[in-house]
Structure 1
């Protein structure tokens, strides 16, 4: 019988592209091999549904309560990601959501992730097509 993938484990993560007006919130991490940019998100805990996981991750990383969002999070994409690190053995699916917040909330968002020991640097960008 054919198999789609040889790895047995598939993990699940949630992610969010957070907008305030036309600006997008990114996480900037400095690495030895070059800077990395990503959106907010993290692993889904066992027995946790996607909505709760997304709410928890945004609370941990941004101190953002989804009740303050302009509208409920909107699923917009799923990324299928294979590990690139030699020590990582789990393929991960990333449901990515669009989350809009009022621009007045930007100043209230956390600037340090409550659980990330790497101390990433948050930043806001304007997508090039909007410049």
Structure 2
């Protein structure tokens, strides 16, 4: 069976919550700080849940199989931007999950991004503060809809405003 590459690359990522804190990858850039949701591209033939599990393991050292509950797809966000130094459009479809961690698992997450050469810092930020940061993907406004309460029935995924050159600036 051959696997075709989707026309739009799909990125699986997660808002990882512990209490009212959120796990982010913090990059210091010349034009300002950028905070990314952990995650990455889905490989051809790979299922989205498997891709998310792989990425969270590679970046954070987090093993989703050890958790009592898994991530839930919450938002979808389309992105078409231009990146500095390139005129070609940069396209992604972000599938953004929410994952509530039990308190004992928080310490199992790495302090630095494990698959980055520069070992970028992993930070825990208060959820209310995180919504005002320069986030990738641009989920700041959507974060206000999270209650942080476990066990609630999750809403159907919601299509967020697209990420465009008018709404997002690369740093």
Instruction: State the Cα distance separating 1:100 from its structure 2 match.
Output: 1.1
Aligned to 1:34: 32
SS of residue in 2 equivalent to 1:55? helix
1: CA distance, partners of 2:29 / 2:119: 12
TM-score (norm: length of structure 1): 0.84
Aligned to 2:101: 101
Q: Give the aligned length.
A: 123
2: CA distance, partners of 1:88 / 1:14: 22
SS of residue in 2 equivalent to 1:111? coil
Aligned to 1:127: 127
Which runs of no fewer than 5 residues in structure 1 stay unpaired? 1-8
The answer to whether the 8 A contact 2:12-2:51 is kept is yes
2: CA distance, partners of 1:87 / 1:71: 42
Aligned to 1:114: 114
Aligned to 2:41: 43
TM-score (norm: length of structure 2): 0.65
1: CA distance, partners of 2:52 / 2:10: 11
2: CA distance, partners of 1:43 / 1:60: 12
Distance change (3 Å), C-alpha of 1:36 and 1:29: same
The answer to whether the 8 A contact 1:69-1:100 is kept is no
Aligned to 1:4: none
The answer to whether the 8 A contact 1:28-1:35 is kept is yes
**Higher RCO, Cα 8 Å, sep 6+:** 1
SS of residue in 1 equivalent to 2:14? strand
Instruction: State the Cα distance separating 1:107 from its structure 2 match.
Output: 1.4
2: CA distance, partners of 1:58 / 1:14: 10
Aligned to 1:6: none
